[in-house]
Structure 1
Amino acid sequence: MIRLAPLAALVAALAGPAALAQEPAARAQIGPRPFHLVDTMKPGPVREALRACGPERPYTVRDFSISHRGAPLQFPEHTVEGVKAAARMGAGIIECDVAFTKDRELVCRHAQCDLHRTTDILSRPALAAKCSQGFTPADPATGRKASAKCCASDLTLAEFKSLNGKMDAADPNATTLDAYMNATPRWRTDLYATTGTLMTHKEYIALVKSLGRKFTPELKAPEVPMPFEGSYSQDQYAQQLIDDYKAAGIPPADVFPQSFLLRDVLYWIRAEPDFGRQAVFLDEREGGGFDTAKPETWSPSMSDLAGRGVRILAPPLWMLVAPGPDGTIVPSAYAREARKAGLDLIAWSLERSGPLESGGGWYYQSVKPLIDRDGDMLTLLDVLHRQIGVRGVFSDWPATTTFYANCVGAP
């Protein structure tokens, strides 16, 4: 006999994000990918421990799992669809990179001038005409690469909102506009990329709040002279970001504002201390003598950062690890000194590199000789958690970090 669920239970099941947010430990849908990654790991105790976490067990939302731009392994970045996917996969914290439009409204974009790569603007003649630089095809005869430059600050908010998001890609060798735009890497997909819904920063706040998740907005470095149009300063830009959370009634403890510019982090620490105590300084130092193994090349030093009120440091994956003497991945001097100075660490970004059979590219550069399969990202994740003690990891596919966090008991 078929038994029908009570009406109240059915209504709750269909209630969507609000019902999900009310659960004390919201369930996560992690799908088959984490188990595939475990299957491809090298034999060893980490693999065996993770294999013990089967698909039949419940998985719950974890703050250790931080959504990088939504879920851009398969969904266009910084779209409503990507944010919802990240929440369903158990990301406890979801990112919005913040840029500004011509009328100084905040929107979610990875860079101020990436619309030619991440939206359909070039196929919309009236809007493409507003781009800082229109499409120029490649010229094989001269070696000229295809190019374009379309910025959020080229458009009003209304114009920005009329665009559709697409997968982040552009072919520099394209001789036609279609080829330039249709360049999604083979390890991503366009299956969900036809109608990506762009978001303002305020819309992102409302959506993430409805999903019961926390926020990590990144103030993107402007690609236009500041003050913008002579009157919109960097500090006004940084303050506007915080003001949006205050207006929405978001507790400061739920917000982790980020910037690659130390001046922004120090501004928040000084002007908005309730938010500033969780401000994240993004560190991407390369060149200029910087060496993760040599503290004397770091400026400012870890102790200097801590002394100025910085509490959370977020470098790319490769800066936190190094090859060990026995052919294993171990914490780098950079990681050890950061923890010694009392700094919390967040790493970025897992699953950004595509297949890892050839060393993992930029994100794995410090341990490239040790990387030869996709399962190695879980090995690296285990070092970040167990040996370094990072508080979270950004991922382009949050199900992977959600799975790992549940298996090992990370928060």
Structure 2
Amino acid sequence: MMRLAVLPLMVLLMAAAPPKPAPPPAPPPAPPIIIAHRGASAERPEHTLAAYERAIEQGADYIEPDLVPTKDHQLVARHENEIGGTTDVADHPEFASRKTTKTIDGQAMTGWFTEDFTLAELKTLRARERLPQLRPANAAFDGQYAIPTLAEVIALAKAASARTGRTIGIYPETKHPSYFKGLGLAVEPVLLAELAKAGWTTAAAPVFIQSFEVDNLKALKGQTGVRLIQLMGASGTSGDGHDYAEMATAAGLKAVAAYAFGVGPEKALIIPRGADGRLGTPTGFVADAHAAGLEVHPWTFRPENFFLPTEFKRGEDPKAIGDGEAEIRAYLATGIDGLFSDSTAMAARALAQPGK
């Protein structure tokens, strides 16, 4: 009799209990980040404080300094250690004897190299537009800007963050790490020391460290908590001998995930171009990378016809501005998590209307 009396009471209590509240909705995914490729390099000579400032004004989340060392082991922002095409060094007779030929990652290069100059000497030079035939307006700024140090780039990002109220990060690339390590000018120790001075040592820091090589990223994994990005070309091998085609497979991406936070693939790994220069069918690269737990930040989106797929060119002039926003939207549809762009303004417009 006791059991029969208790059972209806339990049923009544259960029926009277209020329903459990529904779990809160999941937050929307963060929008893809805009990485200012060498700054706003479609509008100012690349790797100058002016180019970085312009990109920040236009909405960049991260500014990208490619890092090369000086003779006295300081880090400066240049796309390559050969600076004949991006500075006025050829106009300085005091440096004429330093022109030379070197082999870097298997490629012979002739010119002037940052590792043969002290920082003080490099500071006497001025930046020049690297692509004056395609970007003649940028050439009007030739001679105005110095070569910035990594410390100056960090200071700029911090000042901009304080001024704008939004976090501006840096996305440094370690250039030719094996080559410079062989010279006794390893990039990584100086980079980590500068990041530590800035208080940027964990995954929460507004920093990504990128490299086309593998072994230096694996070493960095044990030296810093900062997020690491494995860059990869659509073909070829890294400076330390790793094959990019193998790295881009599903199995290869799983291996990358053991030491990197994300990947920076050449765009063709995500959407290849056909023989007619038009975008083809997207590959499974983004899905494979996401399945491995990696973010995907492809490179590089540029506004000029010269760089664009056939369907997005406007007119016949290679230096005319085409529909780069449409190209970016095609890649956004694949689910990328960020993108490198020479034009921050173009990328921001595409992100504002991703489904247009």
TM-score scaled to structure 1, two decimals? Answer: 0.65
Match 2:126 to one of 153, 164, 168? 164
Amino acid at match of 1:165: A
Q: Deviations over 1:356-376 (max 9, x none)?
A: 5xxx4xxx6xxx565544655
Report the CA distance between 1:268 and its aligned residue: 1.5
Q: For 2:255 and 2:212, locate their aligned partners in 1 and report how far apart those are by CA, in whole Å.
A: 16
Q: Is the 8 A contact 1:131 1:154 kept in 2?
A: no
Q: For 2:266 and 2:97, locate their aligned partners in 1 and report how far apart those are by CA, in whole Å.
A: 36
- Aligned CA distance change for structure 1 residues 89 and 241 (closer, same or farther; 3 Å): same
Larger radius of gyration: 2
Q: Is the 8 A contact 2:329 2:351 kept in 1?
A: no
Name the structure 2 match of 1:199.
148
Name the structure 1 match of 2:331.
384
Q: Deviations over 1:327-358 (max 9, x none)?
A: 97542133332223222100111117x315xx
Structural mapping, 1:204-283, within 5 Å: 204-212=153-161, 213-222=168-177, 224=179, 226-228=181-183, 231-232=184-185, 234=186, 237-250=187-200, 252=202, 253-272=205-224, 274-275=225-226, 278-283=227-232
Higher relative contact order by CA 8 Å / sep ≥ 6: 1 or 2?
Answer: 1
Q: Deviations over 1:177-233 (max 9, x none)?
A: xxxxxxx114442122231221011111111111111110111015856431xx44x
Q: Is the 8 A contact 1:329 1:370 kept in 2?
A: no
Match 2:91 to one of 123, 127, 130? 123
Name the structure 1 match of 2:297.
346
Report the CA distance between 1:132 and its aligned residue: 2.7
The CA RMSD over aligned residues, in Å, is: 2.9
Q: Is the 8 A contact 2:324 2:346 kept in 1?
A: no
Q: For 1:249 and 1:262, locate their aligned partners in 2 and report how far apart those are by CA, in whole Å.
A: 25
Name the structure 1 match of 2:13.
none
Match 1:398 to one of 323, 340, 344? 344
Q: Is the 8 A contact 2:68 2:80 kept in 1?
A: yes
Q: Deviations over 1:154-188 (max 9, x none)?
A: 1001001111000014xxxxxxxxxxxxxx11444
Q: Is the 8 A contact 2:88 2:143 kept in 1?
A: no
Name the structure 1 match of 2:6.
none
Match 1:71 to one of 36, 40, 44? 40
Q: For 1:263 and 1:223, locate their aligned partners in 2 and report how far apart those are by CA, in whole Å.
A: 9
Number of residues of Structure 1 aligned to a counterpart in Structure 2 = 296
Q: For 2:234 and 2:349, locate their aligned partners in 1 and report how far apart those are by CA, in whole Å.
A: 30
Amino acid at match of 1:123: D
Match 2:133 to one of 182, 185, 201? 185
Amino acid at match of 1:255: V
Q: For 2:135 and 2:201, locate their aligned partners in 1 and report how far apart those are by CA, in whole Å.
A: 38
Identity across aligned pairs (percent)?
Answer: 25
Q: For 2:290 and 2:97, locate their aligned partners in 1 and report how far apart those are by CA, in whole Å.
A: 50
Q: For 1:285 and 1:320, locate their aligned partners in 2 and report how far apart those are by CA, in whole Å.
A: 9
Q: For 2:295 and 2:69, locate their aligned partners in 1 and report how far apart those are by CA, in whole Å.
A: 29
- Aligned CA distance change for structure 1 residues 328 and 125 (closer, same or farther; 3 Å): closer
Q: For 2:252 and 2:169, locate their aligned partners in 1 and report how far apart those are by CA, in whole Å.
A: 30
Q: For 1:123 and 1:194, locate their aligned partners in 2 and report how far apart those are by CA, in whole Å.
A: 11
Q: Is the 8 A contact 1:329 1:380 kept in 2?
A: no
**3-state SS of 2:35 partner:** strand
Q: Is the 8 A contact 2:230 2:256 kept in 1?
A: no
Q: For 2:247 and 2:260, locate their aligned partners in 1 and report how far apart those are by CA, in whole Å.
A: 19
- Aligned CA distance change for structure 1 residues 400 and 369 (closer, same or farther; 3 Å): closer
Report the CA distance between 1:405 and its aligned residue: 2.0
Gaps in structure 2 of 5+ consecutive residues:
1-30, 103-108, 162-167, 238-242, 315-320
Gaps in structure 1 of 5+ consecutive residues:
1-61, 135-146, 170-183
Q: Is the 8 A contact 2:154 2:170 kept in 1?
A: yes
Structural mapping, 1:287-306, within 5 Å: 287=236, 298=249, 301-306=252-257
Q: For 1:196 and 1:299, locate their aligned partners in 2 and report how far apart those are by CA, in whole Å.
A: 44
**3-state SS of 2:172 partner:** strand
**3-state SS of 1:239 partner:** helix
Amino acid at match of 2:89: I
Q: Which moved more, 1:120-129 or 1:97-106?
A: 120-129
TM-score scaled to structure 2, two decimals? Answer: 0.74
Amino acid at match of 1:259: S
